[in-house]
């Protein structure tokens, strides 16, 4: 039998439909792979018993002719999504042992469509990070290795999800993207990551980082897989006031393979100082591929791009400081209290012990920019700049159908690099943050290899709620790039 862990989501779906194997067999293969690759630390919580039980139910449904869109397909769930009865930690000590009594809307939709949960994937604590090194449960290791054999970061914050998919430990995974946390790890791990338009997928039941930016999306092996999975994640949710009341299109049907006559924008502001030559070359190759496929390449300008990173690191920490105020050691989560302590003592001790350094740093930044003396100088000004960034994209999309840019300024770097320089770490999001601030859909796909033999991604940005065009162009670019390289152990 074919190695079932090397199948794409679409291939596995078709094989199940033909009866080539059962969901139980497919799930068991991935559980064995998870066990064999525990050294990568991709999962915080493995749920083998639950997975086999769900797979058996899926096989029974299929036998009755009642198969859903994701029926019997084993996936990883980022440990930011609340899962009923299964520990949900957000990779933080403060939520260790927390078992929700409810299911997030996105995972509920996936399970209703037949998806099988293999476990809860590791991440940066509260989704704050670009390297997946801030998790209380230890850093995740990228399945790819550099030429020097060093362990590499998988990107963040959805690093566990990316590593699980790239390493054959899940057919696909859920991720969340606040400033690039689906797209950047997808680029580092050589997979596809799709951040939908803000409001396309419900945020209900997803542990909040920055509420005006957080968006759930699929992390998969191919563009077609992303289209399949997004169809089962998206849809209006009355429980989420930011959820868009829009019908869910057939995303897979958008993959026509034809982009003739489409206009693709190339933003000059993304040619940043010090951009590595191999990133520039990758971008040029992507432009040539789309031009060869019949698209018209158009130069566009996004003049406020240079302010995007600074704006993001005011808005996101400000929202985080508000959202994370609920973790007080009183209602749920970890509590640290000595005899004779006041309520304030308990509050401060619980938060100091429960939050890691990066989360504490961002809470402090957010609290500072929201304080009475600095609200107008920082936060209010950042909101105005954010609006300008959105208007830049709106003007550009008056001329083009999609925008092509690099996903990240480099390939994956070694674990431990940049750890002492948070600003340098934040620069990993320089190409992904603008689309997040504008609430636009963005797709990263592997398009080449670095000089070290590591994957490099290109990013497609689309108009609001036009994931179909992003996927269509992505499918063509994927075929032209013909990226077939795999991490060590996943070849063949």
H, E, C per residue of 2-37: CCHHHCCHHHHHHHHHHCCCCHHHHHHHHHHHHHHC
Distance CA 432, CA 195 (A): 10
Closest to 77 (Cα-Cα) out of 108, 56, 98, 99:
108
For position 427, what pLDDT does the model report?
76
For position 212, what pLDDT does the model report?
98
For position 361, what pLDDT does the model report?
95
Do the Cβ atoms of 311 and 297 come closer than 8 Å?
A: no
Contacts of 376 (CB under 8 A, 6+ apart): none
* Alpha-carbon separation of residue 49 from 27, 120, 290 (angstroms): 11, 13, 46
Distance CA 175, CA 442 (A): 13
Closest to 456 (Cα-Cα) out of 401, 403, 402, 413:
413
Kindly give the confidence (pLDDT) of every residue in the chain, 492 residues in length, as a single tens digit, with 9 standing for 90 and above. 579 999 999 999 999 999 999 999 999 999 999 999 999 999 999 999 999 999 999 999 999 999 999 999 999 999 999 999 999 999 999 999 999 999 999 999 999 999 999 999 999 999 999 999 999 999 999 999 988 889 999 999 999 999 999 999 999 999 999 999 999 999 999 999 999 999 999 999 999 999 999 999 999 999 999 999 999 999 999 999 999 999 999 999 999 999 999 999 999 999 988 889 999 999 999 999 999 999 999 999 999 999 999 999 999 999 999 999 999 888 878 899 988 889 999 999 999 999 999 999 999 999 999 998 899 999 999 999 999 999 999 999 999 999 999 999 999 999 988 777 776 677 788 999 999 999 999 999 999 999 999 999 999 999 999 999 999 999 999 999 999 988 865 655
User: Which sequence positions are flagged as catalytic?
Assistant: 78, 157, 181
Contacts of 74 (CB under 8 A, 6+ apart): 23, 26, 27, 30, 51, 55, 115, 116, 117, 118, 170, 171
End-to-end CA distance of the chain: 14
CATH number of 4-262+399-481: 3.90.1300.10
Bridge partner list, 192: 220
For position 332, what pLDDT does the model report?
75
Distance CA 215, CA 6 (A): 28
Q: How far from chain centre, in Å, is Cα 144?
A: 18
C-alpha angle 194-199-201 in degrees, rounded to nearest 5: 55
Numbered ranges of CATH 3.90.1300.10 in the chain: 4-262+399-481
User: Within a 10 A sphere around the Cβ of 334, how many other Cβ atoms?
Assistant: 19
Bridge partner list, 442: 195, 461
Distance CA 332, CA 101 (A): 13
Distance CA 133, CA 157 (A): 9
């Amino acid at each position: 039998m074919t190695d079932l862990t090397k199948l794409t989501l679409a291939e596995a779906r078709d094989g199940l439909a033909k009866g080539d194997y059962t969901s139980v067999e497919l799930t068991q293969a991935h559980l064995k792979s998870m066990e064999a690759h525990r050294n990568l630390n991709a999962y915080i919580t493995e749920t083998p018993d639950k997975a086999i039980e769900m797979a058996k139910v899926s096989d029974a449904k299929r036998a009755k002719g009642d198969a859903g869109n994701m029926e019997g397909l084993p996936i990883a769930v980022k440990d930011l999504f609340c899962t009923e009865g299964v520990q949900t930690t957000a990779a933080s000590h403060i939520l260790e042992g927390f078992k929700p009594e409810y299911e997030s809307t996105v995972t509920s939709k996936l399970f209703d469509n037949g998806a099988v949960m293999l476990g809860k994937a590791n991440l940066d604590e509260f989704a704050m990070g670009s390297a997946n090194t801030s998790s209380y449960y230890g850093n995740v290791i990228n399945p790819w290795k550099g030429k020097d054999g060093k362990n590499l970061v998988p990107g963040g914050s959805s690093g566990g999800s990316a590593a699980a998919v790239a390493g054959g430990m899940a057919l696909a995974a859920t991720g969340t993207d606040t400033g690039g946390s689906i797209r950047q790890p997808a680029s580092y791990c050589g997979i596809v990551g799709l951040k939908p338009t803000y409001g396309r997928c419900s945020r209900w039941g997803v542990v909040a980082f920055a509420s005006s930016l957080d968006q759930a999306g699929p992390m998969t092996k191919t563009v077609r897989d992303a289209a399949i999975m997004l169809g089962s994640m998206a849809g209006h949710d009355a429980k989420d006031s930011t959820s868009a009341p829009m019908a869910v299109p057939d995303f897979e049907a958008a993959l026509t393979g034809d982009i003739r006559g489409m206009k693709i924008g190339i933003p000059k502001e993304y040619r940043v100082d010090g951009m590595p030559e191999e990133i520039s070359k990758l971008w040029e190759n992507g432009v040539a591929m789309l031009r060869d496929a019949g698209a018209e390449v158009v130069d566009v300008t996004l003049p406020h791009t240079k302010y995007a990173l600074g704006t993001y690191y005011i808005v996101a920490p400000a929202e985080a400081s508000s959202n994370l105020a609920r973790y007080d050691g009183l209602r749920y989560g970890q509590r640290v209290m000595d005899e004779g302590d006041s309520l304030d003592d308990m509050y401060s001790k619980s938060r100091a012990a429960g939050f890691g350094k990066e989360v504490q740093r961002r809470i402090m930044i957010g609290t500072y920019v929201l304080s009475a003396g600095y609200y107008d100088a920082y936060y209010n000004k950042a909101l105005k700049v954010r609006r300008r960034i959105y208007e830049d994209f709106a003007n550009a999309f008056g001329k083009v159908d999609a925008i092509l840019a690099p996903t990240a300024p480099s390939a994956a770097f070694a674990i431990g690099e940049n750890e002492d320089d948070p600003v340098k770490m934040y620069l990993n999001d320089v190409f992904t943050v603008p689309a997040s601030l504008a609430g636009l859909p963005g797709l990263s796909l592997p398009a080449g290899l670095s000089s070290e033999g590591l994957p490099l991604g290109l990013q497609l940005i689309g108009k609001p709620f036009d994931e179909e065009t992003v996927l269509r162009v992505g499918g063509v670019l994927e075929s032209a790039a013909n990226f077939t390289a795999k991490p060590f152990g996943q070849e063949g």
